[in-house]
A and B are shown apart, each in its own frame.
Chain A
Amino acid sequence: MDVTIIAETTVDGLHPVTSQLVGAAIAIGGTPTVLCPGGIGTTAAASISGVSKVIGVKGDCFNTFDSGAWAAALNPLVSDGVIIAASAPSGREVAAQIAAMRGIPIIQDATGLEAGITVTRGIYSGKAIETSTVTAPCAITLRANAFDAAGEGGSAEVSTVNQSADVAVAVREAIAKASERLDVAEANIIISGGRGMGDPANFSHLNEIADMIGAAVGASRAAVDTWDEIPHGMQVGQTGKTVTPSLYIAVGISGAIQHLAGMRTSKYIVAINKDPDAPIFGVADYGIVATWEAALPALKEELGKL
């Protein structure tokens, strides 16, 4: 079965998720051709085990992100089988454009793929799982880290094609990411501190970890009431914000009922507290009985390795 993989690239080269796209394609019996937009990462792509061909698509249009232009440039090189891309901002948009160009269905953000082709994905923000079957020609985007990467040691043939399209979007100004922290109400990952942090200055450790994993920093009411430096906007709980992140890390928070009311429905809860009887351990999926002074540096180190 022909599979065209739209490689995910960054300014630094091939994004590692591309290996997972290949792994998934092979697992369902596909013969993957990898298209590299802008010709980026062709060498790395060719070394992924199982890839049959790599085509670097070079064109001026790849200097600016315009999903319509990228799709138009890539489309002539896409085969009639299955198209696989990463479920990432650019992959999703480009794949959807190609699917519309070819009049084929697209299924986004799959977390499971089996020969057939059976696609599994989360719906209703993960409150339910949908399993569907689809036949080629079709397009599927895959969620990062849901599929095993293919190995290394491949030696696919690499070719380059010049193909561009008119770009309709012009970048006027690039704006670096503002240093403002994510709001607890919107973040997918939250790390919160309680009075157990001892001093508001110690929230800097939480900030560092938050920056590493793109999390927001929250606080218990006790921390907000005790320290002026911890603003009310960070408060999670009965009289603060109610949050439902995928991951909630509670550090130095005992877990009083008022705090739980605000975060109890988080998908996964990690608690770090030196008191083994703290009520927070009653709701934690992973509870670590340790002081934050010992646990947070270890956490920072582990997260740095990911």
Chain B
Amino acid sequence: MAYEALDFYDIDSLLTDEERMVRDMVRDWVDEKILPNIEKACHDGVFPDEWRVDLGEMGILGAPLEGYGCPGLSYIAYGLICQELERGDSGVRSFASVQGSLAMYPIWNFGSEEQKNHYLPKMTTGEWIGCFGLTEPDYGSNPGDMITRAEDKGDHYLLNGAKMWITNGTIADLAVVWAKLDGVIRGFIVEKDDPGFTAPEMTGKHSLKASVTSELVFQDCKIPKDRMLPDAKGLEGPFSCLNNARYGISWGAVGAAQSCFSSAKEYALSRIQFDHPIASFQLVQNKLAWMLREITKAQLLAYHLGKKKDEGTWIPEHISLAKMNNVDIALDIARMARDIHGANGILDEYPVMRHMANLESVKTYEGTHDIHNLILGRYITGIQAFTRES
């Protein structure tokens, strides 16, 4: 059965031909390469290198960035790419989000010309993998108080500290690491062979199992002077990257929800109980209708946000709303879909429980659900409620 993505209010009609072609290209790739292999990848806990190669060849890494060999696509197209990748698996979309929005973007936005010319062309082809080092073991929602520090040693910087929960870390060729230099957060490009740098993989995950999650450990890590991003100072730096990634996630969550809805609908139509398909029972229809409602709202949110991104009329709070809402409903839809699948829903025959487990991470990373709520609360009231301090 060919995949039909729920599009009740016909977002498709709002897309340009190019956006549709890009979406269809990724959709076909997910059908061909991800769906037949994702369960095994999750089971084995690996991100197959072949996928990196394919993503690079398709030319979608760093989708909205212009110049330096980058695709220069609209933000709507970037959103559609994330939607289709996450319809496959959140771990696959995480790879692309980190590569494009968290590793390429800071170099593109804050780097020197030399840095951009050196790193971006090879990152957009997927030849070099990047990762983003912000979160620490003791500093997640509160990155501002991070303790990873850089010292200026004259002819090099010395980095000390550790980062945690870093997607792509162990397989990355370079890491964009945020550390305090004289108390001010700066961005540094650390390459995998820099002395004093290791990136062990974190194991034992029940979520995003086909994604590589790592620690980044810096023990007197020496990096050359030309590795600091000249234009990033303070939290502005990492937050601007996160905004881009969060935007992609708001579309990605729609993809995961669409996948769960599709599976639930097909299952409900084929599963016979008491001589009738369960799709004929009122309680099941109620659930499917609720899913349709939330997916449609989420799509409109993502699409309109994409337009604002392309027009430059967005603020970070717009992104917080979409990320928070869309991931929240996607997780609920995944759970509800599992319920509709009955016992079959726990098997890897169906994608629903995998999406469900993945979305727990997606709800937490890139700003937890609660943090985004507080971002909106501050926007509404003008009063920050993140900390007890004034």
Which residues of A line the B interface, CB within 8 A? 221, 237-239, 242, 257-258, 260-261, 264-265, 282
Contact = CB atoms under 8 A, between A and B. Distances in A.
B344 A239 contact: no
A257 B39 contact: no
A237 B348 CA distance: 13
Contacts of A238: 349-350
B349 A260 contact: no
A226 to B, nearest CB: 16
B266 A261 contact: yes
18 contacts: A237-B349, A238-B350, A239-B36, A239-B39, A239-B349, A242-B1, A257-B271, A257-B344, A258-B344, A258-B347, A258-B349, A260-B270, A261-B1, A261-B266, A261-B270, A264-B270, A265-B1, A282-B272
Interface string B21-56: 000000000000000100100000000000000000
Contacts, number: 23
A238 B350 CA distance: 7
Nearest to A265: B1
Nearest to B38: A239
Contacts of B1: 242, 261, 265
Contacts of A257: 267, 270-271, 344
Contacts of B267: 257
A238 B271 CA distance: 13
Closest 3 CB pairs of A and B: A238-B349, A258-B349, A239-B349
Contacts of B347: 258
Given A239-B39, A258-B347, 11 more contacts: A237-B349, A239-B36, A239-B349, A242-B1, A257-B344, A258-B349, A261-B1, A261-B270, A264-B270, A265-B1, A282-B272
A261 B266 CA distance: 9
Contacts of B271: 257
A242 B271 CA distance: 17
Contacts of A282: 272
Contacts of B350: 238
A49 to B, nearest CB: 49
B342 to A, nearest CB: 10
B150 to A, nearest CB: 48
Nearest to B1: A242
Contacts of A261: 1, 266, 270
A227 B347 CA distance: 20
A265 B1 CA distance: 9
Nearest to A221: B349
A32 B265 CA distance: 56
Nearest to A282: B272
Most A-side CB within 10 Å, residue of B36, B267, B344, B349: B349
A242 B1 CA distance: 7
Interface in B306-364: 344, 347-350
Contacts of B344: 257-258
Contact of B348 (A239, A264, A265): A239
A70 B379 CA distance: 81
Contacts of B270: 257, 260-261, 264
Contacts of A237: 349
